[in-house]
Structure 1
Amino acid sequence: MATQKSWIPRAAIALVGFELGLALAYLAMIYLRGEAVPLLDLNGLRSLPSWLQAAHLFAIGGLCLALLRYRQRMTRPVSWFLPSALAVLCLFGGIDELTKLHLALNQFDWKLIYLGILIAIPVLGWQDLTWIWQHHRGPVLWVLAGVGVFLLGGFGAEAMKGAIASELAIHASSQSIFLGEHLRITIEEFGELLGETLILYGMACLTQQALPLQLRLYRF
């Protein structure tokens, strides 16, 4: 049993280390060569970081589907809506990360899809969320930390893009502007990867705690 629980933190730490290595490798290539190889391009359409983000989202979605499948065996079964909505959100995000579907929806504000699901989750699933918070607070805090890091790294860095560019244009050389923009990209993409890893870790811990012992032994 101790072995079952201990591998999850070790895997999460290893994953964070790998993501940090990708970020540092990208920065090193930008500084030394002026460009990154396509496979390691943090801003690339089909690159290792992009595939890793999709894998994170699919894994989180898979854990949500596992909770949906075995929810009747939980100590307090949750409704079908909460794990279903989270699974749809993550699986859609993973598919979008692989295919860049949002680029084809230039006539439609694709963020409304995410926003609609995110609003529906607390409105329709508040009873389940309250129970999970009361009985599984540790994993929930990891998930919330991951969401915060994801939003800060992703949307925060994107929102600061214009301000950073304007400031650098006044006080810095073209080389500094170039490096500053790629540093912003690194912070944005690494923040998203790190946030997804923390969410995945929290969901894995929640699954370990919420499912019955016999089922956990069977699955892990």
Structure 2
Amino acid sequence: MNLSPKALNEASNWLLFTLIVLEIFLVIIYLAGIVLIERPFELFDLDNKDTIPSFFQASQLFIIGLISLVFFICGRHSSQPPSQIFLLTVALLFFSACADEALKINYLLPIEDHRSWKSTYLGIAVVTPFVFYRDCIALWRIYRKAVLLIAMGWGVFVIGGIGLEILKDEFLQPKLSQFFERDELIPFFIEKL
């Protein structure tokens, strides 16, 4: 089955739009629970495992990891980008993020070490593009639009998902807790966008 580039592009754009709408819908349901019953609906709690948002996020991470692993195993072993080690690293990073999202491994850490996962994720998110800068540059030359979209997502992840968590915990926790009962909402919503 051969897909034309135009059909593949249209399908990709439709899939991206659908996933963004689903993410926003999950956040709206979460907010509705907080407004209506002063706590999230059990199946839509963004902070617990075994919930619909957790499964949805973990499945997205797993699929990205699986695609990278398939390219690593079945892809051509040539000097063209991306390198095999890059594909394997991306697969392993996304599989570990999937496991963390599905099982909430960071919550299993001892209480005094409960926040150490943030610096680990931040370090990985910042260092990985530098370690694989040749792959990133080569992919940029070939797939500018896709790499730009990935870079925007990466930036939102670093700034919205991790950066705001660290900022909130270290600097703004007392102020935010005065205004918001569920102070995880702002970083989570920004990460989802």
TM-score scaled by structure 2? 0.80
Q: What RMSD, in angstroms, separates the aligned Cα atoms of the two structures? A: 2.8
CA shift for structure 1 position 113 = 5.7
Task: Check if 1:193 corresponds to 2:155.
Answer: no
Tell whether the 8 Å contact from 1:45 to 1:100 is kept in structure 2 after alignment: yes
Are the aligned partners of 2:160 and 2:190 in contact in 1 as well (CA < 8 Å)? Answer: yes
Match status 1:166 vs 2:174: yes
Aligned counterpart, 1:139: 146
Contact 1:53 1:193 in 2 (8 A): no
Please tell me whether residue 17 in structure 1 is matched to residue 18 in structure 2.
no
Change (3 A) 1:164 1:27: farther
Measure, in 2, the Cα distance between the counterparts of 1:92 and 1:64. 13
- The 5 Å alignment of 1:54-203 reads 54-72=58-76, 76-106=80-110, 109-110=116-117, 114=121, 115=123, 119=127, 122-123=130-131, 125-158=132-165, 159-161=167-169, 163-167=171-175, 177=179, 180-182=180-182, 184-194=183-193
- Distance (whole Å) between structure 2 residues aligned to residue 14 and residue 133 of structure 1: 25
In structure 2, how many angstroms separate the alpha carbons of the residues matched to 1:110 and 1:150?
14
What CA distance in whole angstroms lies between the structure 2 residues aligned with 1:31 and 1:148?
30
Q: 1:164 to 1:21 in 2, by over 3 A?
A: same
Output the amino acid matched with 2:75: R
Stretch moving more, 113-122 or 11-20: 113-122
Output the CA distance in 1 between the equivalents of 2:40 and 2:53: 12
> Which gives a bigger RCO, structure 1 or 2 (Cα 8 Å, sep 6+)?
1
Q: TM-score, normalised by structure 1?
A: 0.71
One-letter identity of the residue aligned with 2:138: W
Query: Structure 1 regions of 5+ residues with no counterpart?
Result: 195-220
**1:99 offset after TM fit, Å?**
1.3
CA distance in 2, matches of 1:154, 1:186: 11
Identity of aligned residues (%): 28
Q: Distance in 1 between matches of 2:117 and 2:184?
A: 21
8 Å contact from structure 1 (residues 62, 87) kept in 2: yes
Q: Which runs of 5+ in 2 are unaligned?
A: none
